[in-house]
């Protein structure tokens, strides 16, 4: 089936089956590899992107259900994403780094809904994103600093 899709403010036309998850459209059809595959069942959050500003798991989102504008970690124009990236580097958060794109996108989704989340709200919102390097402590710090700057 033919789909048109807006990703990071660019328009794409693709021809794939409607049940193909957005993750694989991004990675293998559009070659946007910043969005990661981690579990395939919405358990780890590595594939998190924004659809109309809301964080979703791209690995379980069929392309046919994506009606809004998609923002990925590769965006250059999203205010929350750039701010979080800056604090991620400043706080030396990444280790292996594989999950961090999803962590940042999930945090961006949180900040768009709630620009001043409490510590508990941060933990609750970020609990679907796994980091096996265990960088959670610094993730919390980076998000809190981004909140303060806002």
Partner 1 sequence: MERRDFIKTTSLVASAFVIAMHIPQKARANASSASAKQKELTPNAFVEIKADNTINFYIGQVEMGQNTYTTLAMCIAEELNVDWDEINIIGAPVTPAHNHVWGPFMLTGGSSSIIAKQDEFRKVGSALNSMLKEAAALKWKVRTYDVLTKDSKLINKRTKEEFLYGDLVSELALLKVPSNPKIKDLKDCKIIGKGVKRHPKEAWAKVKGQAEFGIDVRIPNMKYAAVLHPSVFGAKLKSFDASKALKRKGILKVKQLPNAVAVIAEKWYLAKEALGDIEVVWDEGENAKVSTKSLHKEYSSMMEKPGAVMKKEGDSAKAFKAAKNIIEAEFNFPFLAHAPMEPLNCVVHDRVDDATIWSSSQFQTLTRGAVAKALGKKADKVEYNTPYLGGAFGRRAPINLDYLIEATFVAKGEAWPIMTLWTREDDIKMGNYRPMYKNKAKVALDEHGNISAFDAKVVGQSIFKGTMFEGFGFKNGVDGAQSEGLSDHPYDIENSFMEGYISKVVPSVLWWRSVGHTQSSPFVESLVDMAAAEAKADPIAYRINMLSDIRHINLLKEVSKLANWEKRKKEKNVGYGVAIHKSFGSIVAQIAKVRILENDYKVEDVWCSVDCGFAFNPLNVENQMISGINFALAATKYSEITLENGAAVQSNFYDYKVARISDAPNIKVSIINSMEQIGGIGEPGTPPMFAAVANAIFDASGKRYTSFPIKLG
Q: HEC string of 52-63? A: CCEEEEHHHCEH
47 binds partner 1 (CB under 8 A): no
| CB nearer partner 1, residue 53 or residue 123 | 123
> Using CB under 8 A, which of 10, 79, 113, 124 touches partner 1?
124
Nearest-angstrom CA–CA distance, 23 and 116: 29
33 binds partner 1 (CB under 8 A): yes
| CB nearer partner 1, residue 17 or residue 115 | 17
Nearest-angstrom CA–CA distance, 57 and 75: 17
Helix, coil or strand: residue 122: helix
> Using CB under 8 A, which of 3, 12, 14, 20 touches partner 1?
20
Least CB distance to partner 1 at residue 127 (A) = 5
Site track 50-89 with partner 1 (rule: CB under 8 A), x = hit: ----------------------xxx---------xx--xx
126 binds partner 1 (CB under 8 A): yes
10 binds partner 1 (CB under 8 A): no
Structure tokens at 150: 């806002």
- 10 Å CB burial of residue 59 (0-12, 13-18, 19+) is buried
The residue among 98, 85, 93, 90 whose CA lies nearest residue 130 is 98
54 forms beta bridges with 51
Least CB distance to partner 1 at residue 97 (A) = 3
Q: Are 145 and 91 in contact (CB under 8 A)?
A: yes
Binding residues vs partner 1 (CB under 8 A): 17, 20-21, 24, 28-29, 31-41, 43-44, 46, 72-74, 84-85, 88-89, 92-101, 104, 123-124, 126-140
């Amino acid at each position: 089936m033919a789909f048109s899709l807006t990703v990071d403010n660019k328009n794409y036309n693709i021809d794939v089956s409607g049940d193909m998850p957005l993750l694989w459209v991004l990675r293998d059809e559009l070659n946007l590899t910043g969005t990661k595959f981690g579990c395939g069942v919405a358990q780890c959050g590595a594939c998190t992107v924004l659809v109309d500003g809301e964080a979703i798991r791209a690995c379980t989102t069929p392309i046919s259900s994506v009606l809004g504008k998609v923002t990925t970690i590769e965006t250059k124009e999203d205010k929350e994403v750039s701010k979080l990236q800056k604090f991620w580097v400043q706080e030396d958060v990444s280790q292996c780094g594989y999950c961090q794109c999803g962590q940042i996108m999930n945090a961006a989704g949180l900040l768009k809904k709630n620009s001043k989340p409490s510590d508990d709200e941060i933990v609750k919102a970020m609990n679907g994103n796994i980091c096996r390097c265990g960088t959670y402590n610094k993730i919390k710090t980076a998000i809190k600093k981004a909140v303060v700057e806002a």
